[in-house]
Structure 1
């Protein structure tokens, strides 16, 4: 259902205070690019802190990655339709929160999307749409209603054989949140964890100014539609403009509606702001699937979250709680 693209740029100040140093490292984790940036007065300490952030993200990957055969999530998937699997409280709680988003969005977000047949290809090899019958069959094993949690035993049971759960979306947001939490607990006063567009920020830049996050223009990807200042916050972007197919003049996103098997249409970019990258990711993906009206109804229920939506017509829409200034209400395609 969900494959995120890096849709936001970090714009770092070029004015550095002599007492503080900015350290950044890029690495591949959870199958994606992670950029870890922190501010420190000591270079060696900064490198050690970044190592600890990487260790935390790697620990989470080993717990929840459905592509690692020895992870707890893989064990849950391997026993679908057979038995309940006992998991760590951390995995159980993450699954519980994912189910909450699934229920909240009536399945527009669904962690059992991992069982969906990969009938859509976004690598220029598709020449025609799949048939309705093939599309319908592709979602037969998808359905969050068939995930059974036992909080007393800390078990997860998938009722149907062939079912799978996956955290390819909110998992990176969760890892960004946890890495930020670790850094703050170690006394790192400022930084950004960027998990392929799922960002968790805290503190300020070396010159005392806010972090500036640029939101990509989905029609001209070298341009920005907005630059927003953040302190301790999270931001995620879901979009269709990097991976899509077109048939009969209609663009079909790589973000698939897990209820229907059809790609989402109508919105090309949704950026969500709030305290948690995990939750923001769940919202941004869901809004792409739900569409403008239902998506705004969803986000407006949560006072700590806001969003910026760009439609396939170039219209720019802000949710009620969106606090940043935007000059344009429409961008040229």
Structure 2
């Protein structure tokens, strides 16, 4: 559950006989886009197969669809539920990342999101009673999810435990779609789902894809532009998705360890990784942990990151050393962390 904004810069200079085709779609409550640079027929076939996979995965991983694995798990706690291979794969990875991030990323926050009113658009928003938050916290934690590898069943141990894959499923879907496009012979393209994206190939001009990271203080501007190829990117931030009570803003990203919306100096986190599932989950985890702890946790993973945080004079942009040379705009503001 996070609001992610990316600006996509697609340059001119298309290779002969190749065309640029786009497919816009809506899945998991957000807009997405598939961009392919290839022969027209190859693009059409790839996009058609990719879209069928998107529909299939949304029906499997959605929090809201009544026939999804997630819906069944949330409505039959304590009972082993046979799930699809894709669901099992995502849950297994989610538990692993939760452990490595000391619980900062946790898909069992759904019950907390529920009591805070983030699922109901028309519901009047209010801060839950602290006792209710503490009670609900007893249902939170990756240890509440029991996976049976041989049977491919999943059991939620606590009757109040609910899972929401919003912080990892988009990245997983992006990865699956990219794999389909590549199998269909598409070597150059981009898949974007709600700002979780994967760029592969050389881009339209043969020099890579250019991705802009939004300025948290001004959605019309970017703080940096990255040139990427064969990498996934995901950004976590809550400057556009929040509730307000008596003049105080409450962001939609909750700290699974406290039950309250995250409040720290970080404005946004962008993670660059080999796969989008990892980038998706880690962006949330680092945002929850804050700058110092988040940077420390990054060392457990083979990823790069860009952190935008509150500074003494506006904003600071922190980047990991491995991505410094990929930033083609915004260098003068950078601070490098080790």
Q: Are positions 1:71 and 2:68 aligned together?
A: yes
Deviation at 1:245, TM superposition (A): 4.6
State the shift of 1:227 in Å.
0.9
CA distance in 2 between counterparts of 1:217 and 1:88 reads 39
Please tell me whether the aligned partners of residues 21 and 206 of structure 1 are also in contact (alpha carbons under 8 angstroms). Answer: no
Contact 1:300 / 1:321 at 8 angstroms: preserved in 2?
Answer: no
CA distance in 2, matches of 1:161, 1:215: 40
Give the equivalent residue in structure 1 for 2:333. Answer: 328
Instruction: Please state how far the C-alpha of 1:28 moved relative to its aligned partner.
Output: 0.7
- What is the CA–CA distance in structure 1 between the aligned matches of 2:85 and 2:34, rounded to whole Å? 27
- Structure 2 distance, partners of 1:292, 1:124, is 34
Q: TM-score, normalised by structure 2?
A: 0.89
1:316–1:125 Cα change, 3 Å: farther
- Structure with bigger strand share is 2
Mark the runs of 5 or more structure 2 residues left unpaired by the alignment. Answer: none
- Structure 2 SS opposite 1:222: strand
Report what 2:97 is aligned to. 101
Q: Give the match for residue 292 of structure 1.
A: 291
Determine whether 1:235 maps to 2:240: no
Residues 192-271 of structure 1 mapped to structure 2, 5 A cutoff? 192-245=190-243, 252-266=250-264, 267-271=266-270
Paired positions, count: 325
Aligned 8 A contact 1:73 1:166 in 2: yes
| Offset of residue 8 of structure 1 | 1.0
Q: Following TM superposition, by how much is the alpha carbon of 1:224 offset from its aligned partner in structure 2, in angstroms?
A: 0.8
Deviates more, 1:120-129 or 1:212-221: 120-129
Q: Deviations over 1:133-174 (max 9, x none)?
A: 343344342222111111122111111113222211210100
Whether the aligned pair in 1 keeps the contact of 2:235 and 2:268 (CA below 8 Å) is: yes
Residue 31 (structure 1) aligns with: 29
- Structure 2 distance, partners of 1:249, 1:306, is 36
Choose 121-130 or 87-96, whichever is displaced more.
121-130
CA contact (8 A) 2:271 2:283 kept: yes
Q: Is the 8 A contact 2:117 2:125 kept in 1?
A: no
Offset, 1:329: 3.5
1:111 aligns with 2:107: yes
Name the residue aligned to 1:58: 55
Q: Structure 1 residues 26 and 127 mapped into 2: Cα distance closer, same or farther (>3 Å)?
A: closer
Conservation of the 8 A alpha-carbon contact between 1:239 and 1:269: yes
CA distance in 2, matches of 1:125, 1:328: 41
- Other-structure match for 1:157: 155
Using the alignment, how far apart are the partners of 1:126 and 1:223 within structure 2? 32
- CA RMSD, 1 decimal: 2.3
The residue aligned with 2:280 is 281
Deviation at 1:244, TM superposition (A): 2.8
Alignment deviations for residues 196-255 of structure 1 (CA, whole Å, 9 cap, x no partner): 100011102233121111111111111111111111110000002112356798754211
Whether the 8 Å CA contact 2:133–2:259 is kept in 1: the answer is yes
User: 2: distance between equivalents of 1:328 and 1:228?
Assistant: 14
What is the rounded CA distance, in whole Å, between the counterparts of 1:294 and 1:93 in structure 2? 28
Structure 1 counterpart SS, 2:267: strand
SS in 1 for 2:277: helix
User: What are structure 1's unaligned runs of at least 5 residues?
Assistant: none
Aligned counterpart, 1:315: 316
Question: 2 CA distance for matches of 1:50 and 1:128?
Answer: 43
